[in-house]
Amino acid sequence: MSEFPVAVSSCFEQVADDLAAKGWSVQSAVFPAELVAALGQACRQMWENDALTPAAIGQGSDLAVVPEIRGDYTRWLDDCSPQACQDAYLQCLEQLRVTLNRALFLGLDSFETHFALYPPGAGYSKHLDRFKNNPLRMVSVVAYLNQHWQPGDGGELRMHLKDGVVDIAPIGGTLVVFMSDRILHEVLEAHKERASLVGWFRRRPLNPLLR
């Protein structure tokens, strides 16, 4: 049994409804404060210990670190030392995966996620989460780990939609879910350290050589 209170999984049906209707969903206070604090501490400790690496853009031989486009520092959860808070988070996301598959028949098979920290002055230019030559990423998931975020701290997730833009403050406990191939988005410049977990539900490749 997890040492952390259970996340508010009752909102997952609403996430599924939102994805079906508009392709994105924002749910506040999904994760209990104790879990947000533990995950945020783990992310910031890695940052202080130089255990996060500059995030790159592109694929394969085109992979490059370009801080003017993407300024966050990341570490995949698979590369982190096991912690109870990480297990609790992954258990919650497994519930979300099951809910989305049951409601939307997406065939989501696996989940990959990394910690992401934006230092002051960093952001991420407008982009889609799915690569053109790799259709496996289906659903993007962002969980915010900033307990004391205030107006003016920056770092909003800006989604570019048909009807205009929507800005989402990176307040701790908030969950953002959207279709990876449909929602153009960016991270506005952060004015203080901004921590999150960013991940993707993936479907199983039809071709086993495609990863």
Q: Which segments of the chain have a pLDDT < 50?
A: 1
Which residues are CB-neighbours of 179 under 8 A, at least 6 positions away?
A: 19, 23, 24, 138, 139, 140
Helix (H) or strand (E) holding 198: strand 194-203
Q: 3 lies in a domain? A: no
Q: How many domains does the chain have?
A: 1
Q: Whole domain around residue 179: which residue ranges?
A: 14-203
pLDDT of residue 59: 80
pLDDT of residue 204: 83
Q: 9 lies in a domain? A: no
Angle at 28 between CA 26 and CA 33, to 5 degrees: 140
Q: 5 lies in a domain? A: no
Which residues are CB-neighbours of 41 under 8 A, at least 6 positions away?
A: none
Q: 142 lies in a domain? A: yes
pLDDT digits (tens, 9 = 90+) for 82-100: 999 999 999 999 999 999 9
Q: 45 lies in a domain? A: yes
Of 123, 124, 133, 126, the C-alpha closest to 184 is 126
pLDDT of residue 32: 93
- Domain containing 137 — which CATH number? 2.60.120.620
User: Cβ atoms within 10 A of the Cβ of 105, count?
Assistant: 8
Q: 7 lies in a domain? A: no
Q: 208 lies in a domain? A: no
In this structure, are residues 207 and 112 in contact, taking their beta carbons and an 8 Å threshold? no
Q: 156 lies in a domain? A: yes
